[in-house]
Structure 1
Amino acid sequence: MNPIRLAIVRQKYRPDGGAERFISRALEALKEQNLSLNVITREWQGEQNPDWNIFQCNPSKWGRISRERGFAKAARAIWQQEKFDLVQSHERIPGCDIYRAGDGVHRRWLLQRARILPVWRQKLLFNDRYHRYVMNAEKEMYSAPELKAVICNSEMIKQEIIEDFGVPESKIAVIYNAIDSQRFIPGNEQIRLQIRNQLGIRPDASCLIYVGSGFERKGLESAIRAVSKTSRYLFVIGKDKAEKHYKNLANQLGCHDRIHFLGVQNNVLPYYQAADGLILPTLYDPFPNVILEAMACGLPIITSNSCGGSEFIEQGKNGFICDALDINALTIAINELPEQAIDSHMGELARKRVINQNAGLLSQQLVELYQRLMSI
């Protein structure tokens, strides 16, 4: 039997990106299956797996709309020429067989972002040419006759797609991301003390961790405001061009000595293992990988009800779900967390909840989907 020729489309492959980690884990999980794996991308950073066929296309661009439109046209030309059996796009490109909605629904993100903007900027946001282009591309893609299936990484996104685009529920598969729970494991007192010594934090301090680049969307301001009202410390892992603004905010709130900006880390694991909880009051996030990673490390979670990852949280048992902008609720949640995650009941329940979200399950669900689509 000839292998299924699967093409995965992602404009920019960056090893630390959430969607890219899904792709790498999915491809790794699928390598033992009867599949020929192909990737269509503008730019591939990091190592290339010799078992994958990489098709790079980097058309000229003169701005964001030109970049999106140019890549969509070039990628579509490649998959039409190669005649792949299935094309799974992680970009909003009409004509693909499968779309993975890893970025959620663009209009829903704009609605959440509008909550933190003055009225005059809200109007500009929805009239912005780029945002209108993305929303139109989404609409065209979901209505394209070629679309056979949509992969969502949360029930939240599934419901948004049904409500906004009228996609039949039968076309949508919810497949959660995978986590390597053999690598992401709870820490110990040695790691805890090592990181605290490294950062000049007292040994008995209780520390939360925030992981994510794009501080506005991921809710860093809310996290800092809530932490400022407690005695906890915060590790900030990630980058943002407006980092100075958040440092100034910590200064204004009088908690700058407890907020540690650590930048992008190639290996976040020691920081998870040294922390006592994850706080991610994101304005909008389909399902960030960091929630799985932190839970696998035995950390209770505080996140928002506009985050698909909240589907893994049992309120008050392995974490808390709050509105992203409700500082009072976030503060209460922080104070309800155990002072130390190691050996805590909440931490144990967090790890137990994600322990089966492994690469084998991801592979099984994807292969079943591909086989079903090939039989149509």
Structure 2
Amino acid sequence: MSRLAIVRQKYNPAGGAERIVSAILGQLKLQDELEPVLINRNWEQLDGVTVCRVNPFYLGSIWRDWSFARAARRAWQRMRADLVLSHERIPGCNVYRADDGVHAAWLDTRKKKYGFKARVAVFLNPFHLYMRQVERRMYSHPDFRGVICISEMVRRDVIDFIGLPSEKCHVIYNGIDTQRFNPRDARRNRERMRAELNIAADVPVMVFVGSGFNRKGLYQAIELIAQFPDVRLIVVGSDKKINWYRKVAIKFGVDARVYFVGSKSNVIDYYGMSDAFILPSVYEPFGLVIAEAMACGLPVFVSNRCGGAELVQENKTGWIASVTDHEQWVVNVKRWLDIKDHWYDLSIEVRESVLKFTEEKMVMEMIALFHELNKS
């Protein structure tokens, strides 16, 4: 049996990447071809999976990532791993799963949107320089065999910004737990959830899920809601600048219609109480929450810089627009409101469109790739 080292530094139960790692480990336990070993700082103990904790001291983000990379590399060398799958940018890994996309592409998108201010911020922040250097070193390392791109968008970014040959870029979409995320279970507490927030049954509700509000476009979502007096917005997630976003809601006169509920473990209940999902991200390599919302039957409004937009059938299961094209977002929401009488049928169509993206399919494609790369 070949030993597969899986590297992920941090654990956040609400994080999309962490849920994907858990799904991968869960599926790998069911087969007898690869022995997974998880290398991390603080992951929860998992039955049937060997966990190797490395938690070196650090001060600041650069030292944090550098020290973990150094310790993780030593760990997989000691255990004589046959293949190393890293969810972190670590030179020396064999396969990188680009959960976070391409840092250079994110910086480029950010500069285009925010202009001179963003350029200055990037220049003054040494972490961005460190990340770009590590990214280049990882992709050019002699032990590097391939990258798992979680969307076609990420694949294009790797080719365009890194210059990696296309044959080393493998697109494997995130899998969804379609048994957990389904309309019936999601809507089970719909009436109670709405009652708790004093929202009437017939009021249109959109839900925003994610932490890191700036990158995920919460400002744009709040600005959009201001155009539609009958629509409510539920914000599920956290951010250190949350009070600033509360002031944004006041600025647009929608503070009574925007509900900041914080990070929640029962996110499915918030999908269930809502009628649509919105994520106007500046840069989102995939956005697992997009797929989960669709599995619960919610049509989605997403930006064209979301990898998860590739799951959307335009004007059928959702709507896509540039994050800077405010007028198009307004048009899209109007189209959704105009077909309110058909939302039930739309919900069925939305769910059916993502049922093929299962966790089992994702892991089987990854295992097939691991065997292919091991042979090479």
Using the size of structure 2 for normalisation, the TM-score is 0.95
Is 1:179–2:162 an aligned residue pair?
Answer: no
The one-letter code matched in structure 2 to 1:131 is: H
Q: Which residue of 2 aligns with 1:206?
A: 204
Is 1:361–2:352 an aligned residue pair?
Answer: no
1:340: how far off? Answer: 5.4
The 5-angstrom pairing of residues 57-206 of structure 1 reads: 57-117=54-114, 119-187=116-184, 191-206=189-204
1:99: how far off? Answer: 0.5
Unmatched tracts of structure 2, length 5 or more? none
- Which moves more between the two structures, 291-300 or 110-119? 110-119
- Which moves more between the two structures, 188-197 or 214-223? 188-197
Give the counterpart of 1:8 among 6, 9, 25: 6
**Is the contact between residue 276 and residue 340 of structure 1 (CA under 8 Å) also seen in structure 2?**
no
**Whole-angstrom CA distance in 1 between matches of 2:296 and 2:342:** 9
The one-letter code matched in structure 2 to 1:286 is: P
Structure 1 293/120 Cα, relative in aligned 2: closer, same or farther at 3 Å? closer
The 5-angstrom pairing of residues 273-352 of structure 1 reads: 273-338=272-337, 344-352=344-352
The one-letter code matched in structure 1 to 2:374 is: M
The one-letter code matched in structure 1 to 2:291 is: L
Q: Which residue of 2 aligns with 1:241?
A: 240
Q: C-alpha offsets along residues 342-369 of structure 1, whole Å, 9 cap, x if unaligned?
A: 8533322221111011122112101111
SS in 2 for 1:290: helix
SS in 1 for 2:234: strand
The one-letter code matched in structure 1 to 2:50 is: N
Structure 1 290/103 Cα, relative in aligned 2: closer, same or farther at 3 Å? same
**Is the contact between residue 187 and residue 272 of structure 2 (CA under 8 Å) also seen in structure 1?**
no
Q: How many residues align?
A: 372
**Whole-angstrom CA distance in 2 between matches of 1:120 and 1:102:** 27
SS in 2 for 1:181: coil
**Is the contact between residue 6 and residue 37 of structure 1 (CA under 8 Å) also seen in structure 2?**
yes
Structure 1 189/58 Cα, relative in aligned 2: closer, same or farther at 3 Å? closer
1:49: how far off? Answer: 1.3
The one-letter code matched in structure 2 to 1:296 is: A
Give the counterpart of 1:216 among 214, 236, 241: 214
Unmatched tracts of structure 1, length 5 or more? none
**Is the contact between residue 85 and residue 95 of structure 2 (CA under 8 Å) also seen in structure 1?**
yes
The one-letter code matched in structure 1 to 2:81 is: F
SS in 2 for 1:284: coil
Using the size of structure 1 for normalisation, the TM-score is 0.95
Q: Which residue of 1 aligns with 2:370?
A: 370
Q: C-alpha offsets along residues 260-310 of structure 1, whole Å, 9 cap, x if unaligned?
A: 111011110111011110000000000011011000000001000111011
**Whole-angstrom CA distance in 1 between matches of 2:192 and 2:335:** 25
- What percentage of aligned pairs have identical amino acids? 40
Structure 1 12/263 Cα, relative in aligned 2: closer, same or farther at 3 Å? same
What is the alpha-carbon root mean square deviation over aligned residues?
1.7
